[in-house]
Amino acid sequence: MEQALSHTQQHTLRLLQQYNTQQRFYGKSYPKIPFLFTHNARDFIVEELPLYPFSNSGEHRILKIRKKNLSTLQCVGLIAQALQLQIKAIGYAGLKDKNALTYQYISVPNKAFMANQAQVHAIPQIKIIESCLHENKIKIGHLRGNHFIIRLKKVMPQHFERIQEEAFAAQQYGFPNFFGYQRFGNFGDNYMQALQIKKPPNKQSTLQQLLISSLQSVYFNLWLEERLKISSIMHNFNLTDSIKALTSIYNITMDREIIEILHKAALPLTPLIGDVCMHYPHGKFFYFGEKQVASMQPQEITIKQILSHDIKRLHQGDISITGLLSGMGCHQTSHTDNTESKKQKKCHVKLAKDYALHIEEKFCHEIMAHGTRRYAWVYPHDLHIAYHQEHAHVDMSFTLPSGAYATSFLSYIKNGDVRIF
């Protein structure tokens, strides 16, 4: 029997119930670009890029597999059954789309594979492309990124020009790293079930872990939308009106000099003092506005120089703002540095400070997961686009970092949610 929700959970429930009914805000003012994306194995191909070269020696067999119309968990289940293993003995780096043609790497105990490889080769939806040995089991997140090949349909010539322009702009300036619809299940509401999960992460089933991650994803997406709305104010209003809007709507009262610097920077995602940034595409966390210029003595550095240094690195894509994936002990009740420090010791994840915390805490909730952080802004690369006017098709290929969704990239180009058919 479901337990009664607390007052806080009821408030959270109302917030979540609005999530599926509202149009996502992407921070762009142009009308939606019309095109059709058909999510199937012909028009959606994904290839996983491993994090490092495999050693070709060890107790684990690395299988590069091709699967069609099969989820990663279904694939792992079939392989485990064929090898007479428990599912937990199979390693994989990430979940790949079901309604697609996907290539990914799976690790299995080599002894079991050698004894039962004929049964694996007999699985009709799976084909082994390559195999080698390695010392370690593949773990979640052990991938450099994913390469996508996608076809868009019903694209008129004038709309192709807009698609091409927006795609290459995103390659240069990045795009918001929203979680894609795949994260939320067939009906888009997996996260609602996660409110009732009370077990700690190490006691949760695979399904419960997926539900919890879905809830983390919703809070992240809501936070990112809020930050894009703040950025939209900075882009579309003059300095004086931006200050008034930030004060009245968000109670952000930064010094005029700081807001002027951020306003002039015109970054697609406006940073706030206290944002947790991270070197891109991987590296250490640090706070925006506190980074010191290495060539200068600390007493010589002004806030303007610090901000200018960090803003330049954001423009160049050397660093990126990160958002929180809520977890145990992450809930904030105060903006003070003292409280922030105590909470960090409890939740074991770096939390925003100052004005960035003022926004982050609205989407920071106690849920049964290990909190972490995620890039809020990412960059596609190896982008290629071709238009086939006779068929009104656009063929795109590009690479995204680990955890980024191709459908979120398409939605940003479109300036509207990509409808799946």
- The catalytic site residues sit at 97
Query: CA-based angle 173:176:179, to the nearest 5?
Result: 150
Distance CA 251, CA 348 (A): 28
| Beta-carbon-side half-sphere exposure of residue 25 (alpha carbons within 13 Å) | 15
Cβ within 8 Å of residue 406, ≥6 positions away:
44, 46, 146, 148, 150, 180, 398, 400
The closest alpha carbon to 312, from 265, 247, 263, belongs to: 265
Question: What backbone torsions phi and psi does residue 236 show, to the nearest 5 degrees?
Answer: -105, -15
Query: What are the C-alpha distances in Å from 30 to residues 106, 181, 263, 270, 319?
Result: 42, 23, 21, 19, 28
Instruction: Please report how many Cα atoms fall inside a 13 Å half-sphere around the Cα of residue 399, on the Cβ side.
Output: 11
> Could you give phi then psi for residue 145, rounded to 5 degrees?
165, -165
